[in-house]
C-alpha cells in the first residue's frame, strides 16, 4: 500500500480534509504546513512572529523557514510509518529541496496527488468555511447566527479567509504552484483526481487513484 505521498491543490480544494481522512483510515502522519504555521502563530513562538504577516496576507512564507519546519517533521524515524505532506512543497524550489531531504533519509515518495477543483467551486467553498471552537474546520451554509450547525459552538473565520486574502492566495497558487504541478506531471508518481463533489465522493476517487 502507498504510504508516502504529497497532496497538492488550490486553497479550498480539500487537501486538509482528505489528508485527515487518510490519516484516520491508514495511520499515515498528516503533515500540514498551514496547520504547523497557524499553531506557531498561536503559541507566539519566534517562528510564529516571523511568519504571521505572510500567512495573514496570503503570501508564501520564506522557503528557508518552511524547509526547516519540514525537516524537523520528517527526521529520525517519524517518516517511516508513512506521511501525507499537505501544503508543502508549494513551488519548484521547495520541491527540489524536498527531493534532497528525502534522498538523505533514504525515503522514496509513492505518489504526488493533485486534487483538481474548479475555481468557481473554490470561491464558493471558502466563503462557507469557518472554524468551530469545538469541531475545528467546518463548512456552514448559513452562518448568520455564528453558531456551529453540529455542536452550537462559536464560529470563527480563519484569518486568511477574507475575500482579499483568498484572491491573493489563488494568485499565488496560479503563479507558483501551477509550475510545480507541471514539474511533477513529467514524473510517473503524479496522479490527478477530480476534486469537485462531496467529501466522500472525492475520498473514494483518491483511494482508487492510490
How many residues bind ligand ADP, per CB under 6 A? 18
Asked if 18 touches ligand ADP (CB under 6 A), the answer is no
Kindly indicate which of the ranges 59-67, 76-84, 96-104, 110-118 contains the residues binding ligand ADP, using the contact rule CB under 6 A.
59-67
Asked if 11 touches ligand ADP (CB under 6 A), the answer is yes
Across the beta sheet with 129-132, the strand order is: 136-139, 129-132, 155-156
Asked if 87 touches ligand ADP (CB under 6 A), the answer is yes
Q: What is the C-alpha separation between 56 and 49, in angstroms, rounded?
A: 12
Asked if 66 touches ligand ADP (CB under 6 A), the answer is yes
Asked if 33 touches ligand ADP (CB under 6 A), the answer is yes
CB nearer ligand ADP, residue 11 or residue 195: 11
CB nearer ligand ADP, residue 60 or residue 143: 60
Q: What is the C-alpha separation between 192 and 95, in angstroms, rounded?
A: 18
Selection from 34, 4, 1 nearest residue 16 by Cα? 34
Q: Is 15 a catalytic residue?
A: yes
Kindly indicate which of the ranges 30-38, 39-47, 97-105, 144-152 contains the residues binding ligand ADP, using the contact rule CB under 6 A.
30-38
Cβ contacts of residue 93 below 8 Å, gap of 6+? 63
Q: What is the C-alpha separation between 40 and 147, in angstroms, rounded?
A: 26
Q: Please answer whether residues 66 and 176 qualify as being in contact, where contact means their C-beta atoms are separated by less than 8 angstroms.
A: no
Residue given cell 475575500 in the structure block: 163
CB nearer ligand ADP, residue 3 or residue 90: 90
Asked if 123 touches ligand ADP (CB under 6 A), the answer is no
19, 73, 169, 195: which one binds ligand ADP (CB under 6 A)? 169
Omega prior to 89 cis, within 30 of 0: yes
Q: What is the C-alpha separation between 134 and 53, in angstroms, rounded?
A: 26
Which residues lie near ligand ADP (CB under 6 A)? 11-12, 33-34, 37, 54-55, 58-61, 66, 87-88, 90, 94, 160, 169
Question: Active-site residue numbers?
Answer: 15, 90, 129, 158, 169
Amino acid at each position: 500500500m502507498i504510504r508516502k505521498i504529497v497532496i497538492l491543490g488550490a486553497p479550498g480544494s480539500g487537501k486538509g480534509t482528505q489528508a485527515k481522512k487518510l490519516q484516520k483510515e491508514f495511520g499515515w502522519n498528516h503533515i500540514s504546513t498551514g496547520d504547523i504555521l497557524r499553531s506557531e502563530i498561536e503559541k507566539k513562538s519566534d517562528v510564529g512572529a516571523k511568519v504571521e504577516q505572510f500567512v495573514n496576507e496570503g503570501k508564501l512564507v520564506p522557503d528557508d523557514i518552511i524547509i526547516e519546519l519540514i525537516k524537523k517533521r520528517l527526521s529520525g524515524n517519524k517518516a517511516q510509518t508513512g506521511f501525507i505532506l499537505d501544503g508543502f512543497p508549494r513551488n519548484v524550489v521547495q520541491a527540489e529541496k524536498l527531493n534532497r531531504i528525502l534522498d538523505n533519509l533514504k525515503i522514496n515518495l509513492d505518489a504526488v496527488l493533485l486534487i483538481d477543483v474548479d475555481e468557481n467551486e473554490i470561491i464558493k467553498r471558502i466563503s462557507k468555511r469557518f472554524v468551530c471552537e469545538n469541531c475545528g474546520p467546518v463548512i456552514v451554509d448559513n452562518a448568520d447566527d455564528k453558531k456551529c450547525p453540529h455542536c452550537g459552538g462559536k464560529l470563527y473565520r480563519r484569518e486568511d479567509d477574507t475575500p482579499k486574502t483568498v484572491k491573493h492566495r489563488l494568485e499565488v497558487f496560479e503563479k507558483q504552484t501551477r509550475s510545480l504541478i507541471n514539474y511533477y506531471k513529467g514524473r510517473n508518481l503524479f496522479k490527478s483526481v477530480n476534486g469537485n463533489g462531496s467529501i466522500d465522493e472525492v475520498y473514494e476517487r483518491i483511494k482508487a487513484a492510490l
